[in-house]
Amino acid sequence: MIHINRSGRTGLIIVLPLILFFSCKKEEFEGQRPDERIAAALETYYGTLAGAEHGWKANLFPAGGRGFGFFFRFNRNNRVSMLADISDQTRRTAKESSYRIRATLTPSLYFDTYNYLHQLADPDPAVNNGTPGFGLYSDFEFSIQYASKDTLLLKGNLFGSRLELVRASGEEAAAYEAGNLAAMKLSVSRFLEDRKFTYIEDAAGNIYTTAINTAENTLLVNYDSAGTVATRQFGLSFFGTDQLIMSAPFRYNKFQFDRLIIDAQTGELQAAQDGQHFVLWDTDVPPFSFNAMWGVGYESITVPMETEAQGNGAEFNLRRTTFLQNARTLVAAGTTFPEMMVTIDRKQQLLFVNQLIRQGVNNFNARFVFSFTQQEDEYTFKYEGATDDNAGFLENAFAPVLEGFLNGKMRFDYDLELSDLRASGQSSGLPGFKFVGRL
């Protein structure tokens, strides 16, 4: 550096770097290396899965909703066989595929050849009637979130589906392999056959209606929340020898349950949690009015159009057949119009009338919309128009049906004439304009 002395003369001072030489001793690594710890963890997971003598009973809850019961047997040769509550075949016939446990961000279980898990995730809608490109938003690669000797909790790596594995007993394994998934499904269907409305009553006398859909594996619970009917939907998974596990517990105030149990002696269902059981009662009289439930517990009234539903009025049938005659002159031969879906949106005060069009294996929708005002149980409609090109194309042909909604006020209610749960819509200003459809 430059140094200026007091005499004003400049002198150059050179500072030589000081080089220090250190001798270092190589430290020996003590303990288990990270790669060794990961390998040991993976080996433990393999041992846990394959070490379950009687296999694993399992619940899968896809991100898209619903629930599916499974039974797995893993071995140390990276092979797994499974049964699944998807179809009658998958409930009775085991399918084998390969699996791997890999260390990604977290240890993950991969089902790496096509099996029943892949079937739920299949992007082809023809496989499960799922969403094109996404299937049922289910997974076949899972991160291990928790593991013990008897329980594994996993989360889907793509959609976040939840998979729960619980070590099965010898009795449970034998039941699964003897077709118990199908037997439980049949038992619940028989329980529901002659019951129009099922409900649970808590200790305080509050009513919670239940609607079980065995085709979709869902449970709908409706209840009075501060004077308004509220609803919650859960996935259901057939599990073990006699249980239907819910995708989440139902809780309201101090009342809660997280599963349904099939009584082995009577075939009746009970809701349960932590040893408490609540009977599913049944009644022919709806606990809540139709107008309280429509748009909350029930989405649509689905009305047959190609055939006459029992309970239809003469005026509706006349307008229905006029529509069919008019529409068939506009479309290719063989086109059918199977059903009309009437759906309410209470928040927007809109009513949607969706006419299904079927050509071969393809379905198309023609959607028409009404706004409405409501006074007690009566509705006054105003036609707002067609919402899509199909509806615009069919509008003139469909006019006789649409006009039926505009003649005076309309009322909607349950139709209890048949064992199936149905509802009706009827005009007060146009005698005979009454349609009946399933809920």
pLDDT at 307 over 60: yes
Three-class SS state of 8: coil
- Whether the CB-CB separation of 375 and 349 falls below 8 Å is answered with no
- Whether the CB-CB separation of 352 and 369 falls below 8 Å is answered with yes
Domain hosting residue 361, numbered range: 297-438
Using CB atoms within 10 Å of the CB of residue 274, give its burial: 0 to 12 exposed, 13 to 18 middle, 19+ buried: exposed
Question: Which residue spans within 215-338 are E strands per DSSP?
Answer: 218-225, 228-239, 243-252, 255-262, 269-273, 276-279, 281-283, 300-304
Per-residue model confidence as pLDDT tens digits over 139-181 = 999 999 999 999 999 999 999 999 999 999 999 999 999 999 9
Domain check: are 303 and 267 in the same one?
no
Question: Would residue 110 count as lying in a domain?
Answer: yes
Domain check: are 205 and 242 in the same one?
yes
Closest CA to 353 of 364, 365, 369, 338: 369
Domain check: are 332 and 210 in the same one?
no
Question: Would residue 4 count as lying in a domain?
Answer: no
Question: Would residue 9 count as lying in a domain?
Answer: no
Question: Would residue 20 count as lying in a domain?
Answer: no
Average pLDDT over residues 208-217: 93
β-pair partners for 414: 423
* CATH assignment at residue 123: 2.40.128.640
State the pLDDT at residue 34: 60
User: Rounded mean pLDDT of the chain?
Assistant: 89
In what helix (H) or strand (E) does residue 324 lie, and over which residues does it extend?
Answer: helix 314-328
Per-residue model confidence as pLDDT tens digits over 127-145 = 888 888 899 999 999 999 9
Domain check: are 207 and 317 in the same one?
no
State the pLDDT at residue 418: 84
- Whether the CB-CB separation of 261 and 246 falls below 8 Å is answered with no
In what helix (H) or strand (E) does residue 35 lie, and over which residues does it extend?
Answer: helix 34-50
Residue 387's identity, in one-letter code, is T
Q: Rounded to the nearest 10 degrees, how much is the dihedral formed by the CA atoms of 242, 247, 253, 255?
A: 0
Domain check: are 270 and 205 in the same one?
yes
Domain boundary among 124, 153, 178: 178
Question: Would residue 47 count as lying in a domain?
Answer: yes
The conformation of residue 17, written as its DSSP 8-state character, comes to P
Residue 389's identity, in one-letter code, is D
Q: Which of 10-14, 263-267, 431-435 has the highest mean pLDDT?
A: 431-435
State the pLDDT at residue 14: 38
pLDDT band at 193 (very low <50, low <70, confident <90, very high): confident
Q: Rounded to the nearest 10 degrees, how much is the dihedral formed by the CA atoms of 141, 72, 130, 294?
A: -120
Domain check: are 258 and 207 in the same one?
yes
Domain check: are 126 and 111 in the same one?
yes
- What b/e sequence results for 17-27 when a residue is b if at least 16 CB atoms lie within 10 Å of its CB, and e otherwise? eeeeeeeeeee
* Number of domains comprising the chain: 3
β-pair partners for 152: 147, 165
Dist. CA 198–CA 70, nearest whole Å = 27
Per-residue model confidence as pLDDT tens digits over 3-33 = 434 334 433 333 434 333 334 444 554 555 6
Q: What angle (nearest 5°) sits at the alpha carbon of residue 133, between those of residues 132 and 136? A: 75
Question: Would residue 6 count as lying in a domain?
Answer: no
Domain check: are 268 and 311 in the same one?
no
Residue 13's identity, in one-letter code, is I
Residue carrying structure tokens 């006349």: 318
User: How many beta carbons lie within 10 A of that of residue 266, not counting itself?
Assistant: 9
* CATH assignment at residue 266: 2.40.128
Dist. CA 73–CA 165, nearest whole Å = 11
Reported pTM: 0.77
Dist. CA 250–CA 221, nearest whole Å = 8
Per-residue model confidence as pLDDT tens digits over 415-424 = 988 878 899 9
Domain boundary among 178, 210, 225: 178
Question: Would residue 8 count as lying in a domain?
Answer: no
Of the given ranges (276-290, 337-351, 390-404), which has the lowest mean pLDDT? 276-290
Q: Which of 97-111, 270-284, 326-340 has the highest mean pLDDT?
A: 326-340
Domain check: are 320 and 424 in the same one?
yes
Domain boundary among 288, 319, 347: 288
pLDDT band at 395 (very low <50, low <70, confident <90, very high): very high
Residue carrying structure tokens 């969403």: 131
Domain check: are 173 and 75 in the same one?
yes
Domain check: are 313 and 258 in the same one?
no
Question: Would residue 18 count as lying in a domain?
Answer: no
Domain check: are 174 and 213 in the same one?
no
The conformation of residue 180, written as its DSSP 8-state character, comes to H
Average pLDDT over residues 194-216: 91
Per-residue model confidence as pLDDT tens digits over 81-94 = 999 999 999 999 99
